Chain A
Amino acid sequence: MNRIQQKLQENKKLLSLYFTAGYPAINDTMSILQQLQDSGVDMVEIGLPFSDPLADGPTIQESSTAALKNGMTTQLLFDQLKDVRKTIDIPLIVMGYFNPMLQYGVEKFCATCAAIGIDGIIMPDLPLAEYEAEYKTIFEKHGLINVFLITPQTSDERIRQIDAASNGFIYMVSSASTTGAQSGFGNTQSDYFKRIDAMNLTNPQIVGFGISNSDTFQAATAFAKGAIIGSAFIKHISAHGANSVADFVKTIR
């Protein structure tokens, strides 16, 4: 069983954090991962920066631009993560956009992830149809879990399709927005969370987008299995430095 699947079976609400590899400094990757694990975070999305991150708001756009300027590349990230499983045992997911993966070579990318001990991949712009037609067999051969997104606008029919194609969790985007929205959650979100909960999907859901503090974490995990925080965490390390990870995690739970 994959580390993600094991983690999902634990009887607790999961806290997952996203950070952009190569930010704030090029060699912060391993240190941030270690601090996240030591602070009790359950799972991590390691962001592979992209020049044109369509689904991201200003915070992750800026951290991505800075990381690329610092010299981050796909190969460098994999080199940094070479020995990650000697010290880190929580599930790790690489999150990025599809073009850098395509240029690296999908087969080589997946093989390298598997060799390092990466457990899953989130590529928001690799949609279900393209994945199933071209890439599913490669991901599965290397034991990688591919995570799909759903949004408040996703039809029930499509959610069922995505559930059937998933074998880990479903990334439940909290609202119609790019990452980093600060509005908090209202009735629209709680109706949406309840609607998805009532569908009794096979895969648990982890909520992302718009979760920035303890209140939004509590609200998101009232129904879902866990929640992912990205932009708020990046803002925190921008302001307080890459060694302040534990301070941020303490404010969430």
Chain B
Amino acid sequence: MSGKISRRNMLLAARSPSIDYGVYDEASDAVPIPPAHAKMHPTACDYCIVGCGYKAYTWPVDETGGSKADENAFHADFPVAAASGQWVSPNMHNIVKKDGKLHHVVVIPDGETAVNRKGNHSVRGGKIGQKPYNPKKPTADRLQSPMVRVNDTLQPISWDDATSIVAELSRYAIDKDGPNAFGMRYYSYQYWENTYAFSKLIYNDIGTAIGAEHDKPTGKNDAVGLDDSGVDGFSTSYADFQKADVIFMSGFDPYENHTILFTEWIAPGGAKIIFVNPRKSPTAVHAERNDGLHLQVQPNTDTVLNNAIQRYILEQGWEDREWIERMTASRDDIEKEKKGSNWRRRTFGQTFEEHKAWLLSDDTYTLENAEKITWVPKEKIIRAAEMLAKPRGKVRPKATVMLEKGNYWSFNYPASASLSSLGLVCGAGSRPGQNMCRAGGHQRGGMKLKGYPLSKSWVQSVHGRKGEPAPMPVNFDEYAMSGKLRVCYILGTTWLDSMNAGQAIRLKLGELTRKHEIYPDSLDKDAIVAALKRRMDAGGMFLVQQDIYPNTLTDFADIVLPAATWGEADFTRAQGERRLRIYSKFCDAPGESKPDWWILAQVAKKMGFEGWDYKDGNDIFEEASNKSKGGNYDFYHVVQEAKKAGKKGHEFLREMSTTGIQLPARIVDGKLVGTLRLHDETFPEAEKETASKIVYQFKTASGKAIFMKGDWNLAKDTFERFRPKGDELWVSNGRINQIWQSMFDDTRIPFVKQRYPSNFLMINPADAKKRGLESGDLVAVENDDVIDQLGNKTRGVVSLVAYLTDEVGEGVTYTYAFYPGQSADLIVPAVTDPVTGVYNYKIGKGRVRKIGETPLKKVEGSMSFIPRTAG
């Protein structure tokens, strides 16, 4: 099959980017500052979970502020002092249209917010001023009009025609083949107004079981083993990290991402860090220099490490017995969990005594065996156990346990379950400084009317209790590739650059869509609909892309719908300590682009669904507040207080500026108050009637936390099958400091591209020497064992620029996960967790060989190859 499809696919390669060797950041030596009368729009960063507060100042393009305090909006004399939070970096400034007229905009970190105090910021948020559309900058390629593919070319059409085509074809497919003929992949995070709208359309109105979030093949949870223990991933306040004595960081680097969480909250707090990561990154070096520990784990073996540390703690009797007896579940408690929907708790849930007996009986987790599997020396495992749990006299160390995708994207269930049980053994989960949580990725922008309908899925795990249902969500990619999906709607996510076996998905998708023999050849709406109905009847697919920029998927799409985004409409969501803020509109959306909720409303109405007459985003925000009641993001009272004050919810929230309110929002003594943490055993007794139970209990049937069995046996065979052999190397992947996510903005920001004009392969100098590699060489990375979603053995290939560094040890390389066109996932097999269905994104490996040299090797090349740990 490969020859035929490969030839077809070559025709689709137009958007594969060449490497941006020539990029440079044109430097300015002056920047306009906002005058005293500039309009201030409170907002927060669009990017990572921390959600730093920012202020966007706009003012007419023919004016500028002066250097005296009364001449500028900061009330500051220039030059401003170090750490003043008042300096405008040239990358914070842009020119935008506002109300149709040219304006300056400066988007500057807000020193008055509760998150990034004194105006601290990451490199990603700090240059978010480059995000707004500017026709003189690389953002000029924003999608600005709806388009339809006719005769293999995308042509502009009207919104009316575009939404009619989508609605009519969706209605046709659902009426003919049932709700599962329609599937949507969607972001989980990009604002409540939007996520509420599409959850309403797909899960409530259409009722499909074919849905998946941007980072999963399914529509279900992330850190599932943590959730199952009863702990909400975002249960803490950032100030809690300053009360910890030791923080166990599993599978994330808080400087690469969540930078402000690290530089503003964790590092100054002085907690010792146990940093679990295959890379000796700058954060690992920081941990070691400050009495902490770096556990340089072999990729994908976190489960064994977590369990070995627990086992040693239990052997020494260092567990927090008093807390465990008080706060964790008995066998009767576990049996209260519902059959079906809570099958994992019924299957893998353990009492402390059961958990202890299991761990002590499985020799996988002895120090010696754990060292062999994880590559972490046993002395370090012991040291980690001591730091986490060894009492000093009668005082226990305050241990906080955190995880993120390096953990739960290895073997999703056992890795995250073993981490949560490690936390419970240490008494973490319900007290300041003794917390358990995710570090987080995106912000908490999912506000759903209805979640993924597990009850409609036909997929069952083989690991359930005998005689009881064990439902798993449907794998979207497998379903789409198998040709069963008629309408494939991709909303705001770079599907093809972020899923395992990505090249196999592309090859199959091309057959079903753009290279299908049936295609529209007219701009008449009815003719387009008729042609695409015939394609669907013939087993093909109708592909909708809704996004802000063109990307790989645009080369396949039948319809492209341009979306408005951050800064272009009022939006809301919460960040990593459940802080709800408004993200204010401060500029015009380019061209005809519209907020995602608006587009969906047009489609829904044309499909005949009711309840879609929203005038603005605020209407949805207020409607959603009813649904939020009792949950972790309960903002019902925010909207009620707004109504009492005669204001719209959005306006009421805008008055709370960049600090917002930590949810759940409650009424205490007649006043609106926030909530510092969930599962909080220090929560005031007198306020319990104002709060739902999750605020002071764990999120389980009994309110007690559950030890979840994170069993290496669920992973062992797969690990053995896919680990590197012979001259293969691990090709691990994840984030890097300067880049956010799929680079949808960063690829259009020269300041970022100059640092990383190509995706890189960090490789240890010893491994490089064996292959004759120097920094700046172009290398091929090839994996012959990329099992795709349908079980076929395929080959994944990507070319990268070598970056020699001791950050990675021998046998392990590292690359950026989502570099457009050079995505790490291209060489990762579509291995899914047998309990949760989540991909193992970290199980990449490959053979590495030199295929050329790049100009980056020369001094003129913009990419730096000095170690990131320099100094």
A and B held together in a complex:
no
